[in-house]
Structures are given as structure tokens and as C-alpha cells.
Structure 1
Amino acid sequence: MTRPTQRLDKWLWQARFFRTRSLAAREIAAGHCRVNGARVTKPAAAVGAGDVLTFVQARRVRVVRVTGLPDRRGPAPEAQAHYEDFEPPQQQGAAAPADAGGPPEPEPGGRPTKRARRNLETMRRRALE
């Protein structure tokens, strides 16, 4: 008898690790996912209960064990019942504020603010005088 399985991209999406199924498929196709230690590049790879998944999510490596196959993409507590997370608790708490959904921190060297642009224009005008 065969064990019940599900597509990897669908499982990652239903377990709420990725916002869309196509994002999950893109990460898998890029080779950023492993099932039981073996690199997987096909989104249709089968996963079932007991499999260990390793993948990159939000600039950190996640390691989870599949404990069940969800029927739908439900609320987060329902999704969390289908996997066991191996991430240490102190890292989970430290990463929570960064993933809180607030605006991202501006990158140095990015687009200047309106005030910075005006100051730059003023300095350039004075240099030409």
C-alpha cells in the first residue's frame, strides 16, 4: 500500500511558508529546497508524513518535518498542525519582529528622500556659482 503524498509546491503553499504557490514552485525550481537531504528541482516532487524539508524562507534556512497533508490553505494555526519546526525557539522569537509586516528598512545607497534631493541640488547650485 502506498503512503498518501502531495506535491511539494502545494504543501509549502498550504502550510503557509510561501504567499503563493508559484513562489513556492519558483524556489523549488531554483534548487533551494531539499527533501530528506536530497536536492529537489521539480515542484511536483511528492512529500508525505515523515519527510524532512529544508528550504530558504525570508533569508533564513528552515528545517521542518511533515506531519500531515492539509486539505486546504486554512488559517495559520491549522497549517502549523501539519509540520514540526526544528528551528531553535530563541531564533523564532528573534526573527518575529523583522517578519511583523512593517515597512522594510531602507537600503543604504538607495533612492534619496525628497529632503536629501533638495539638499543635493542646493549644494550643486552653490558649487556652480
Structure 2
Amino acid sequence: MASETSGGGASGGGQTGGESVRVDSWIWSVRLVKTRSSGGAACKGGHVRVNGERVKPSYGVHVGDEVRLRQAGGRERVVIVKRLIRKRVGAPVAVECYVDNSPPPPPREAVAPAGVRDRGTGRPTKRDRREMERLRGAEG
């Protein structure tokens, strides 16, 4: 099999019974990604690392492995595998399957949204649009 010769070794595929589970399936099962296919895409894109190395979707995770997942918006989730599951479960059960060592998300700035227009004022003019872009650029 190709995954056995390409660095996956004996841990690829999850063929050893309950000892390992595919990484794309596991991150989907514990609700770190919305769909299994997006878990596979994250692995293929290099956004998933197990114990510091980039992995393919078929890589087998074991209890005690550190899984790092870079999510949209630049946030990184760092979890330690506590329990292996293959099926997607509810959120209260899912959080019992890992230890979350992720850094806290950056604080959200409490500012009034720029460019909110009053109802009924019509379409913004070019001058209004440039003013709104200038305000948004100054904040971000």
C-alpha cells in the first residue's frame, strides 16, 4: 500500500483495531471541523500536524498524540488525544475525547461598526463609499 511507504508507516489507515483512527475522521468526530471532507482538505493543505509533523488524511492518531489544526481566521487549535472515536458525537461527549491546550482567541474589539447607514438614505455615493473605506482602513 502506498501510505505504508510514504512515511505513514504502521500508523497509517487505522487497521490495528482500536489503537489508531484516521486523523481526518478523528478531527471531524470531535467537532474540530464541520465535515470529514473539510478535515481531509485541511490535512492535504498542510493545516494539520500530529506531534509536529504534517500528516496525510489517512495518518493514524493514537492516544497521547498532539494534534495542531490551523483554522480559518488564523486561529490554531492544539489538542491532546485522550480517547479515540470513529463516529461523530455530540459536543459534550466530544470535549471529553481531548485536552484543549489552544491559546485563547484574540480579544474582540468592542467598536461601533463603521459604515452603518440610516435606513431610507438610499445608495451611498462615491464620496460616501470612499469615506466608509477610509474609516474601515483606519480601524483594521
Q: Which residue of the partner structure matches residue 123 of structure 2?
A: 118
Q: Which of residues 22, 25, 44 is equivalent to 2:58?
A: 44
Residue 92 of structure 1: CA displacement? 5.6
| Deviations, residues 76-106 of structure 1 (Å, cap 9, x unaligned) | 0101111001125xx26958xxxxxxxxxx9
Partner residue, 1:103: none
Q: What stretches of structure 1 of length at least 5 have no aligned partner?
A: 96-105, 109-113, 124-129
The corresponding residue for 1:98 is none
Any runs of at least 4 consecutive aligned residues in structure 1 with deviations exceeding 4 A, and if so which?
92-95, 114-117
Unaligned runs of 5+ in 2: 1-15, 129-140
Aligned with residue 77 of structure 1, among 75, 89, 92: 92
After superposition, where does 1:4-23 map in structure 2 within 5 Å?
Answer: 4-23=19-38
Normalised TM-score (structure 2)? 0.62
Which stretch shifts more, 7-16 or 54-63?
Answer: 54-63
Aligned to 2:102: 87
TM-score normalised by the chain length of structure 1? 0.67
- SS of 2:26's partner is helix
Matches of 2:60 and 2:86, distance apart in 1 = 15
Equivalent of 2:43 in 14, 28, 33:
28
Aligned AA (1:53)? V
Distance in 1 (CA, whole Å) between partners of 2:45 and 2:122 is 39
Contact kept in structure 1, 2:21 and 2:86, CA below 8 Å:
no
Tell whether 2:80 aligns with 1:65.
Answer: yes
> Separation in 2 of the partners of 1:94 and 1:16?
23
Match of 1:126 in 2: none
Size of the aligned set, in residue pairs, is 105
